[in-house]
Amino acid sequence: MGNLGAWLWKKFTEATVNLIITSGITSFAITLWAATRSSAPDMTSLGWLIVGVLLAFAIVILFGLAGWARQKWGRTNAPPSTAAAATPLATMLRIQTYSDARLPTRRQQENIWRWYTLSNRIRGRDANGTETDIAIQFFVFLVFETPVAVGQVLVSSPDMQLPSHEVKDSGPRHAIIVFNGGVSAGEIEVRVAPP
């Protein structure tokens, strides 16, 4: 459903809700007025009561049909797909890592809106009670400035041996890389290759 269709549907549902509210209030007021006009039930008050009930029933049916039509033909307000807008575009990040507790620094970037790294260290105790590292994981999270057609996410380093790593997820707007093991001092380059 395009913008015009969404706008028309919104106006239709607003009008339907307004109709339901005003019809309900009107039928209730008419029924209450007819019932209080005389204490003895006559054909007039009974007729207005029947009209009020039928009007409320018709409103419920109309509302049900509107909901059914929305479910059958309508669309949710999901964001537009970025895959269709993705184009081959130079996208890369080069960061400098350190062997101590310093955070990595950016050396160079292209088409990167935001990036960050996370180091996760799981510690435990061995049989002697000494605390040791059980596992170390290093994560790199990337969000692209402009949607990009992702064929493959390539990870390399010109000056260090990288631990085993895996691209956990990637799409037109993001990439997540996980390194299994500590990352030593050096440069890490993440580059997106087009399909």
**pLDDT for res 195:** 85
Q: Mind giving me the DSSP string for 113-136?
A: EEEEEEEEEEEEE-TTS-EEEEEE
**pLDDT for res 1:** 47
Whether the full predicted model's pTM is greater than 0.85, yes or no, is no
**pLDDT for res 152:** 94
Give the pLDDT means over successive 10-residue stretches in the chain (195 positions).
Answer: 65 70 68 61 61 69 68 56 70 93 93 92 88 88 94 94 93 94 92 92
% helix, strand, coil for the chain, step of 5 = 35, 35, 30
Q: For 4-56, how does the pLDDT look when each residue is reduced to its tens digit (9 = 90+)?
A: 666 677 777 777 766 666 666 676 666 666 666 655 555 566 666 677 667 76
**pLDDT for res 73:** 66
Q: What are φ and ψ of residue 191, in 5° steps?
A: -130, 140
**pLDDT for res 74:** 61
**pLDDT for res 115:** 95
Dump strand ranges (E) for 127-193: 131-144, 152-156, 165-171, 174-180, 186-193
Q: Are strands 174-180 and 165-171 parallel, antiparallel or unpaired?
A: antiparallel
**pLDDT for res 158:** 93
